[in-house]
A and B are shown apart, each in its own frame.
Chain A
């Protein structure tokens, strides 16, 4: 029973990841891609946590935390760069 639940959850997360990748490719600007990339990494973190629950092995918790922080740092840095570029225009 739980196996089916995990499979459904993974399927929905993969579909969401696919949609964010579509936005990443079709983005109308840099900021759209930044937002899409942040969503995609959040979905990776979620999938990692689902994997932990499925295997009942929490050794990847540090990986999930690191991904969450890296997504934040990367997106904020990129947003700041875009803002600086625009203010010098």
Chain B
């Protein structure tokens, strides 16, 4: 049981727990905007940790491929969150009472000439 194995074990367990908490958030959070938090941040953290844990056991060329996978997830998750969040807002799926600040309301009013 080397230090590398211990590092790998901690990363894998922590990553899986992070993904699990994200999935729990998907079920318990109130609206689409809140669920996006659960869908993007814990999943990305969990995936990167799992990639670290797995890369320890692989050859260098495969481990560098895993870097690409982590990079894809880290770049695409915020883009997805922004697009889904905007679509949810315009579709009326976002609960207004859960928002502290709403900068998009003014612009939407300007576009539609009415109040949501």
When C-beta atoms are compared, the residue in chain B nearest to A64 turns out to be B69
- Across the interface, do B58 and A83 meet the contact criterion of CB distance under 8 Å? no
Residues 80-97 of B, flagged 1 when their CB comes within 8 A of A and 0 if not, give 100110111011110000
- Across the interface, do B12 and A6 meet the contact criterion of CB distance under 8 Å? yes
- Across the interface, do B19 and A45 meet the contact criterion of CB distance under 8 Å? no
Residues in chain B near residue A58, CB distance under 8 A = 58-59, 61-63, 65-66
Contacts A35-B39, A80-B87; A61 near B19 (Cβ below 8 A)? no
Q: Size class of B's contact patch?
A: 35 or more
Residues in chain A near residue B43, CB distance under 8 A = 39, 42-43
Residues in chain B near residue A34, CB distance under 8 A = 84
Main secondary structure of the interface of A (DSSP, over half): helix
Residues in chain B near residue A53, CB distance under 8 A = 8, 12, 53-58
- Across the interface, do A32 and B35 meet the contact criterion of CB distance under 8 Å? yes
- Across the interface, do A29 and B32 meet the contact criterion of CB distance under 8 Å? yes
- Across the interface, do A64 and B66 meet the contact criterion of CB distance under 8 Å? yes
Q: Which residues of B contact A (CB under 8 A)?
A: 1, 5, 8-9, 12-13, 15-17, 19-20, 22-24, 26-27, 32, 35-36, 38-39, 43, 46-47, 50-51, 53-59, 61-63, 65-66, 68-69, 72-73, 76, 79-80, 83-84, 86-88, 90-93
30 A-B pairs with CB atoms under 8 Å apart are: A1-B1, A2-B8, A5-B12, A11-B16, A12-B17, A15-B23, A16-B23, A19-B26, A19-B27, A20-B23, A20-B26, A23-B23, A36-B39, A43-B43, A45-B73, A46-B15, A46-B19, A50-B54, A52-B58, A54-B57, A61-B69, A64-B65, A64-B66, A68-B69, A72-B76, A75-B80, A76-B80, A83-B86, A86-B92, A87-B90
